[in-house]
Amino acid sequence: MFEIISKKPDSRVGKIRTKNGEVNTPFFMPDATRGFVRSIDNEILEKIGLEAILINTYHLFLNPGMEIIKEAGDAHNFMNWPKPLLSDSGGYQVFSLIHKNPKLGKITDNEVIFCSPTDGSKHILTPEIAIQIQFDLGVDMMVCLDDPPPNDYPREKIAQAVERTIRWAKRCKDEYEKQIKERKISEADRPLIFGVIQGGEYLNLRKHCTEELVKIGFDGYGFGARHIDAQGNFMEEVLRETASFIPENALRFALGVGTPEDIVKCYSFGWDMFDCVIPTREGRHGRLFIRNVKTLLIASLQSEENFYETININNGKYKNDFSRVDENCDCMLCKNHTKAYLHHLFSSKEMLGMRLAAIHNLKFYADLLEALRNSVNSKKIELKP
């Protein structure tokens, strides 16, 4: 269940209630694709203030496999993450593995055949299987299998992906209802289900896709495919308009978004949920996000000024820089260590460095989202899904 507590013209603050607890919106989920946020224990994620994390259907299905997960109970038990979990459907892998490298699989109207990049083994995902797996994972929020085309595909092919995504969404919804019935899951305990809106940069395709998905009916709607164009520019207008197509009482999930400024913009357009590998991956690669101001909120919402900057701790200039990474951060890196030490950890290829950097970046993201949640406190709106 999703409740909007307050809103400004477009952005809003709310609360999601799930079987495994509440999540305050807007929120950011770190990607625990294979059942773990690389190098970071769940205890630390909780301490950072993250209320939900994202796992991936395709990756967990491959490894460790559903037999193991079911033997453990579900993904919550297996991972020892008792709080809300959202699973992505494997739809993104249709893009990242197959669209980007056709050798790695095949997409038909009925199914997706993945050839595992690691051992070449073949695995079939259908909309129904994707939903069944997500029920077996025991997640609190699940996503329909979709077909995210690269943004530089011709319009015709993107339109095809839209139609396929709609057909698959219908099949997912049907399977979802079947599973709810078979598993005798109550309305209060049922996981939320998200449809995914495709359409590339074409607003009328995005609109059409949204309308068709809304007819099927979902708890939330995701923005599918990449939200940056082929040149790497944030597709601001598409994100803004697409949010406006989605009914107000539904959750809006900006999948894979993004950089801090992209999240802030999406939030202002009315998006509620975000996930991205940036804070963890870039942290592991040595890029650290640093607050330019004490209050992220003010700069992020009320001015055009950059509210953060990044550094690459690998750069030689940090060799003897004994200052803190971020004076305004209270993460375990910033409280305890200097840039020079972190630089040393990185140049020694010590995993502690990557870990501390990822933790710092996640804290930055968590603090940013907290600032956004605190940014709206005018009128309250009660809505029933």
Partner RNA sequence: GGGUCGGUGGCAGAGUGGUCAAAUGCAUCAGACUGUAAAUCUGACGCCGCAAGGCUUCGGGGGUUCGACUCCCUCCCGGCCCA
Supply the residues annotated as catalytic: 88, 275
State which residue, 77 or 96, has the beta carbon closest to RNA: 96
Distances from the Cα of 82 to the Cα of 18, 223, 268, 367, angstroms:
11, 27, 30, 22
69 class by beta-carbon count within 10 Å (0-12 exposed, 13-18 middle, 19+ buried): buried
Site for RNA in 216-275 (CB under 7 A): 222, 224-228, 232, 234, 255-259, 262, 275
Q: Does 344 bind RNA (CB under 7 A)?
A: no
Q: From 43-51, 69-77, 326-334, 348-356, give the range in contact with RNA by CB under 7 A.
A: 348-356
Distances from the Cα of 244 to the Cα of 193, 268, 342, angstroms:
19, 11, 43
CB atoms within 10 A of CB 149: 26
SS3 246: coil
For Cα atoms 307, 257, 50, give the angle at the middle one, nearest 5 degrees: 80
Q: Does 351 bind RNA (CB under 7 A)?
A: yes
Output the smallest distance, CB 211 to RNA, in A.
19
Q: Does 84 bind RNA (CB under 7 A)?
A: no
Output the smallest distance, CB 353 to RNA, in A.
9
State which residue, 100 or 380, has the beta carbon closest to RNA: 100
Q: x/- binding map, residues 322-341, to RNA, per CB under 7 A?
A: --------------------
Output the smallest distance, CB 382 to RNA, in A.
29
For Cα atoms 144, 145, 148, give the angle at the middle one, nearest 5 degrees: 115
Q: From 88-96, 241-249, 324-332, 375-383, give the range in contact with RNA by CB under 7 A.
A: 88-96
Inter-residue contact 218 to 173 (CB < 8 Å):
yes
Q: Does 92 bind RNA (CB under 7 A)?
A: yes
Site for RNA in 274-303 (CB under 7 A): 275-278, 280-282, 284-287
Q: Is the peptide bond before 64 cis (omega within 30 degrees of 0)?
A: yes
Q: Is the peptide bond before 102 cis (omega within 30 degrees of 0)?
A: no
Positive or negative torsion for Cα 54, 58, 60, 63: negative
Site for RNA in 356-385 (CB under 7 A): none
- φ/ψ of residue 187, rounded to 5: -60, -40
Output the smallest distance, CB 254 to RNA, in A.
9
Tell me which H or E stretch contains 266: helix 260-269
Q: Does 30 bind RNA (CB under 7 A)?
A: yes
Q: Does 142 bind RNA (CB under 7 A)?
A: no
* DSSP state letters, 297-353: HHHHHH-SS--EEEEETTSGGGTT--S-S-TT--SHHHHH--HHHHHHHHHTT-HHH
Output the smallest distance, CB 36 to RNA, in A.
9
Lookup result for tokens 């449809």: 195
Site for RNA in 36-65 (CB under 7 A): 37-39, 54, 56, 59
State which residue, 213 or 376, has the beta carbon closest to RNA: 213
Q: Smallest Cα–Cα separation from 197: which of 250, 242, 152?
A: 242
State which residue, 4 or 145, has the beta carbon closest to RNA: 145
Q: From 1-9, 27-35, 210-218, 290-298, give the range in contact with RNA by CB under 7 A.
A: 27-35
Tell me the Ramachandran region of residue 80: left when phi exceeds 0, alpha when psi lies from -120 to 50, beta otherwise: left
Question: Which one of residues 139, 196, 250, 329 is an interface residue with RNA (CB under 7 A)?
Answer: 196
Output the smallest distance, CB 96 to RNA, in A.
3
Output the smallest distance, CB 347 to RNA, in A.
4
Query: Residue 204, Cα to own-chain centre: how many angstroms?
Result: 25
268-284 burial code (b ≥16 CB/10 A, e <16): bbbbbbbbbbbbbebbb
Give the count of residues interacting with RNA (CB under 7 A). Answer: 62
Q: Does 314 bind RNA (CB under 7 A)?
A: yes
Output the smallest distance, CB 143 to RNA, in A.
5
Question: Do the strands 12-18 and 21-25 form a parallel or antiparallel pair, or are they unpaired?
Answer: antiparallel
Q: Which residues bind RNA (CB under 7 A)?
A: 30-31, 33, 37-39, 54, 56, 59, 88-89, 91-93, 95-97, 100-101, 103-104, 117-118, 143, 146, 148, 196, 222, 224-228, 232, 234, 255-259, 262, 275-278, 280-282, 284-287, 312, 314-317, 319, 347, 349, 351, 354
